[in-house]
Homo-oligomer: A and B are copies of this chain.
Amino acid sequence: MLGLDPDPSALWTATDDEPAPGGEPRERAARAVVSHCRAAIDATAPACVGVKLQLARFELLGAPGWGALEAVAAHAREHGLLVIADGKRGDIDVSARAYAGALFDGAQTPFGELPGLGADLATVNPLMGVDSLEPFVSAARAAGAGVLVLVRTSNPGARDIEDVPVQGGGALWQLIASIVDDLAAGGVGESGLSDVGAVVGATAPDHVRRARELMARSPFLLPGIGAQGGRVEELAAAFAPGRAAGLVTASRSIVGAYLTTGGEPAGAARAEAERLREAAWTLSIEAAANVR
């Protein structure tokens, strides 16, 4: 998974390379972001199964940013890649339905059909409870897409709330995992994997193992590789249900690989994406062998 988290001050395309300068700063930044993301996709597509688009970076660009998000998603689809909308949305029912429409398949209105982003997967925040998740799950299911619920994230602050011990035993994230497993039961496909998955940070391998025990049918999105310190070699448990059960995602360590290795950004990104793919592949084969 190529994570695209485009920082306007660290793009491959320098400001002066812009094909069509002019326009307000947000429009110029959005054009440069699209060109950067397209180049990163072109460089790494053969080594990736999808892209994870960090919505915050696009939102900072206002209306031109939403256009950029759509253009990047379309480019990824042309390469046959999955599109993960990483927005971590969560809200009460009517609002969750609107978010789900925006990210998956749009909405019918008196003004005509509004298109959605057409994401294959979207990250969602479970704090507000099951009724805030269900509209995302229904909309995803209707669109042939899926959701990835935040269970145990990769940042140090995960300890403040997600790791809090709850009465009856276990940490809060384990209770969230059991909610995810319940939701996942309703959407298990022929592959044995559900359309309700989980975000489980790659920075805490012990948690990945325990999470896999609690959510046997859910695909895991595993962020935190590279810049945040996680190592793909430690994530075998994620792949236990099959090769597609673990989605290893890295953003800065792929797109910014040239900063440490030197050389051309595209070549360095491709090499790092290949390295991660091979590590995940080897791991998933070993995990499958252990299951047998």
Among A57, A96, A109, A112, find the residue whose CB has the most chain B CB atoms closer than 10 A: A109
Say whether A172 contacts B161, CB under 8 Å: yes
Q: Is A142 an interface residue (CB 8 A)?
A: no
Nearest chain B residue, comparing its CB with the CB of A31: B111
For A228, list chain B residues within 8 Å (CB): 92
Say whether A111 contacts B63, CB under 8 Å: no
A-side interface size class: 35 or more
Q: Is A127 an interface residue (CB 8 A)?
A: yes
Contact with B along A133-161 (1 / 0, CB 8 A): 10000000000000000100111111111
For A175, list chain B residues within 8 Å (CB): 161, 164
For A92, list chain B residues within 8 Å (CB): 153-155, 228
For A165, list chain B residues within 8 Å (CB): 166-167
**Which residues from chain A sit less than 8 Å from chain B, CB to CB?**
5, 7-9, 15, 24-26, 28-29, 32, 54, 56-57, 59-67, 70, 88-96, 98-99, 101-102, 106-107, 109-115, 125-133, 150, 153-162, 164-167, 172, 175-176, 179, 228
